[in-house]
């Protein structure tokens, strides 16, 4: 009976969350591919867009560098560097401009001490341990009936969920800053801006998907721990 309840919980809670996450990943790749084939009318590249967004927001001292890969774009607050992938850095496309402006949005958040970004950075060490140790700790605790170990594992996984929850406003805010700068400065035309917004909206879905999966897994983990059996 317990195994059947476990399967039902996975089937109706975790599996739909995983499917949504996979759909979100497909959407971001599909949107990026579509708008990577549409060039900007002013020949603005991803690197150029990041530079302009930073400049227009009065942010200085941020390097913009090229990194290998596809959709490996990110902002590193430790070194204050915007890293743009091969498909974004020198590409004069709507998709590249949108992605690069988003990363510039993170650099602006860092420069302005955006509170959710600082909070997310503060819990990263706990999150790293939580993602690695939470499941093993709970499983060991269940096998040997160690309630304290089970609770520690659940709390560590809860930190992972909290991290992903805080990530949502950080990502949404970076996209909002990006689109505002691109539109208000005229870096993208009125016809081009919706394409960049679609790329960023699709990317935001991946963070929503990751949060939903983590919440589903946390609920499953918590339910199993209450039964004291795996």
Give catalytic residue positions: 103
The CA-atom distances, in angstroms, between 2 and each of 77, 144, 217 are: 46, 18, 17
The CA-atom distances, in angstroms, between 37 and each of 33, 67, 92, 100, 101 are: 7, 21, 10, 16, 18
Residue 210 token pair: 């990751």
Strand order in the sheet with 63-67: 63-67, 81-85, 74-76
User: Which residue in this structure is represented by tokens 């959407």?
Assistant: 27
Neighbours of 42 (CB within 10 A): 13
What phi and psi, each to the nearest 5 degrees, are found at residue 74? -165, 165
- C-alpha to C-alpha distance for 173 and 35, rounded to whole angstroms: 22
What phi and psi, each to the nearest 5 degrees, are found at residue 127? -65, -40
- C-alpha to C-alpha distance for 215 and 164, rounded to whole angstroms: 10
């Amino acid at each position: 009976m317990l195994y059947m309840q476990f399967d039902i919980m996975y089937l109706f809670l975790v599996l739909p969350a995983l499917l949504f996450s996979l759909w979100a990943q497909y959407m971001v790749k599909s949107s990026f591919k579509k708008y990577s084939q549409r060039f900007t009318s002013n020949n603005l590249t991803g690197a150029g867009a990041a530079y302009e967004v930073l400049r227009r927001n009065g942010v200085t001292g941020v390097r913009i560098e090229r990194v290998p890969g596809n959709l490996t774009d990110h902002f590193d607050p430790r070194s204050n560097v915007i890293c743009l992938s091969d498909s974004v850095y020198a590409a004069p496309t709507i998709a590249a401009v949108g992605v690069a402006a988003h990363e510039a949005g993170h650099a602006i958040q860092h420069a302005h001490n955006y509170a959710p970004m600082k909070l997310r950075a503060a819990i990263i060490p706990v999150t790293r341990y939580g993602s690695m140790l939470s499941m093993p700790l709970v499983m060991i605790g269940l096998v040997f009936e160690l309630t304290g170990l089970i609770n520690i594992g659940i709390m560590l996984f809860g930190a992972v969920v909290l991290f992903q929850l805080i990530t949502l406003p950080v990502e949404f805010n970076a996209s909002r800053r990006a689109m505002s700068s691109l539109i208000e400065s005229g870096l993208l035309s009125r016809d081009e801006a919706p394409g960049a917004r679609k790329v960023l909206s699709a990317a935001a879905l991946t963070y929503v998907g990751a949060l939903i999966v983590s919440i589903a897994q946390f609920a499953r983990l918590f339910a199993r721990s209450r039964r004291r059996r795996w």
